[in-house]
Structure 1
Amino acid sequence: MKKMNYQEIGNYTKVTEFILVGLSRHPTSQSVVFWTLMFLYIVTLAGNSLIIFLVGGNSQLHTPMYFFLGNLSLLDLLFSTSVVPLIMVNSLYNFSTISYSSCFTQLAFRAFLALAECFLLAIMAYDRFVAISNPLRYNLVMSSRVCIFMALLAWMAALLLTVLPILIFPISFCGQNVVNHFSCEVQAIFKLLCSNTISLQIMMIACAVISMPVPLMFILFSYLCILKAVLRIHPTKARLKAFSTCASHLIVVTIYFGTLIYIYMRPQSKISHNGDKIVSIFYAAVTPMLNPLIYTLRNKDVKAVLRRVNCGVKS
């Protein structure tokens, strides 16, 4: 194992870098993980870039629903890029290191993107509620100005909730810098804290409640209202068509919030387990890949535009 890098300041030891364990204890799995992540990352890049290209370049998709879908694809693209390449590199090395500043930059950037996606999924649920419950006033209620404002609100709220705990509660480590993970995952890093974390934990719990349970409860309430509105539609075919427009969003919400709840809402211990790494890889690599596949495979408008673009390329 590499020698731990510390800097003595006063009566305590300041951590200047972290050692990432990754798969150092399972060398036979390193190449398998690398090539698996390579495949997932390429599919993620292709799928999300395609969604952004189609939404931005086709007037047929210049609607509130696809505007938010483009934002979701951008978030997934940035999130996967901020995590997966580093995990791929670290999976090939034994006990790779990352500097303190780089680690916390990555951690903060990942938290910002994850929080923004929570808020964006809640906004997308509201968009579906307006579209189904009040279709005649949909374009008026969800005007382009309102959509841009709501998207900016999601991004800015996520930025505030990310920066606030860092600025208010500085943290310190007791000399332990071995992280049993592929990257600077917040749960693994915070197991090494030695400073008084009560105030920080309270702040993080408050931020977690605002960023996860509140958007999730808003989404559930929106879908209860959607269900109530759909049940008022008498032709069964029209009722199924109305609710089918929400199916892709429901699948994405279930996968995304289900993974978040498992990672962050279950009881934590001071010991990191290999199962945490697997779930983290699923969250970082698989979920961003699934979102564009779910929307393109289930969405007639996106498939129609994709066929038209494909025919144009061939001609």
Structure 2
Amino acid sequence: MQRKNLTEVTEFIFLGFSRFHEHQITLFVVFLILYTLTLAGNAIIVTIIHMDRHLHTPMYFFLSMLASSETMYTLVIIPRMLTGLIAQNQPISLAGCTTQMFFFVTLAINNCFLLTVMGYDRYVAICNPLRYMVIMSKRVCVQLMCGAFGIGLAMAAVQVTSIFTLPFCHRVVGHFFCDILPVMKLSCIDTTINEIINFVVSLFVILVPMGLVFISYVLIISTILKIASAEGRKKAFATCASHLTVVIVHYGCASIAYLKPKSENSVEQDLLLSVTYTIVTPLLNPVVYSLRNKEVKEALCRAVSKNIS
């Protein structure tokens, strides 16, 4: 019976925002505007960093990688979600669902570890400034970036394999994309082992980066407090403020979404959290780094002035 069900379920249908049927056009417009702003903001950051030689430093290299990763992350989810708001009950094949989940998990974990790498970069810049360019050489930066992406690929392979070896009895996904827990609920059999695997992976990819960032900032704050001048302390902390803001929101949303007890799950809460970490958080990155980062604003002004002249 399990084998029969496994072969019969070849596609899924997203329930999405169907419970908010009367507001779907409004949601479409709002999400489309936010998505457009996200794409434009991240594209501007990547372009400015590439064009302005003043930003050719490890800090901005990692920022451009984060912006690129966030852009691909949203591309995996949001276009199909927007389509679903207009044309309901659009099916996704089993292979399509597998692919979407794999890239979503890979990029989400990659973003977690990129933020950790950016925290390490700030630690070296503030705590060991004289050797900063030696420690954070181009080779090391590329290795750290590849390491973050490699961990994402490995963890995604584990999670996706554990999900799609299950037999499925149901077709309707109570979500707007192929997230881990909503797809797992469609299985015919007990998924306790799969839930444990998912929880262990989630603990690793959330708590380990959070712990490393926390250690980095304990050392950073300790060093900043030793700076004699108030102006020097202010300048040192300003280089960390944008990163710290993004870290708090990113890890906060991820922790609530994937580490909360199963008994506390509800469809409305899950949708709200998912909208936050798939639409709002990717938009936060360009907004924070554009409005709170002096060097990015100066580079943007130089680019605008150059084009006008």
Fold conserved (TM > 0.5)? yes
Superposed CA RMSD:
1.9
Structure 1's 75 and 56: CA in aligned 2 closer, same or farther, altered over 3 A? same
Aligned match of 1:104: 98
For residues 152 and 224 of structure 1, the distance between their equivalents in structure 2, rounded to whole angstroms, comes to 26
For residues 268 and 168 of structure 1, the distance between their equivalents in structure 2, rounded to whole angstroms, comes to 18
Aligned match of 1:300: 294
Structure 1's 159 and 94: CA in aligned 2 closer, same or farther, altered over 3 A? same
Aligned match of 1:194: 188
- Pick the aligned partner of 2:248 from 238, 251, 254: 254
Aligned match of 1:229: 223
Deviates more, 1:82-91 or 1:189-198: 189-198
Q: Secondary structure at the match of 1:50?
A: helix
**Deviation string, structure 1 residues 138-161 (Cα, Å, up to 9, x no partner):** 111111111111111111111011
For residues 147 and 271 of structure 1, the distance between their equivalents in structure 2, rounded to whole angstroms, comes to 39
Trace 1:202-221 onto structure 2 (pairs within 5 A).
202-221=196-215
TM (norm. structure 2) is 0.94
Q: Give 1:271 deviation, angstroms.
A: 6.8
Trace 1:107-186 onto structure 2 (pairs within 5 A).
107-167=101-161, 170-186=164-180
Contact persistence 2:163–2:184 (CA under 8 A): no
Aligned match of 1:240: 234
2:18 is equivalent to residue 18 of structure 1: no
How many residues align structurally? Answer: 309
Identity of matched residues, %: 37
Q: Give 1:198 deviation, angstroms.
A: 3.5
Q: Give 1:278 deviation, angstroms.
A: 1.8
Q: Give 1:173 deviation, angstroms.
A: 3.4
Q: Give 1:23 deviation, angstroms.
A: 2.4
Structure 1's 228 and 59: CA in aligned 2 closer, same or farther, altered over 3 A? same
Matched residue type, 1:23: F
Q: Give 1:182 deviation, angstroms.
A: 1.5
Contact persistence 2:169–2:187 (CA under 8 A): no
Aligned match of 2:87: 93
2:20 is equivalent to residue 44 of structure 1: no
Contact persistence 2:199–2:259 (CA under 8 A): no
2:27 is equivalent to residue 33 of structure 1: yes
For residues 5 and 77 of structure 2, the distance between their equivalents in structure 1, rounded to whole angstroms, comes to 35
5+ unaligned residues in a row in structure 1: which ranges? 1-6
Contact persistence 2:46–2:68 (CA under 8 A): yes
Greater helix share, structure number? 2
Contact persistence 1:18–1:178 (CA under 8 A): yes
2:70 is equivalent to residue 76 of structure 1: yes
Deviates more, 1:195-204 or 1:289-298: 195-204
5+ unaligned residues in a row in structure 2: which ranges? none
Q: Give 1:8 deviation, angstroms.
A: 9.0
Aligned match of 1:4: none
**Deviation string, structure 1 residues 242-272 (Cα, Å, up to 9, x no partner):** 0111000010001111111111111124975
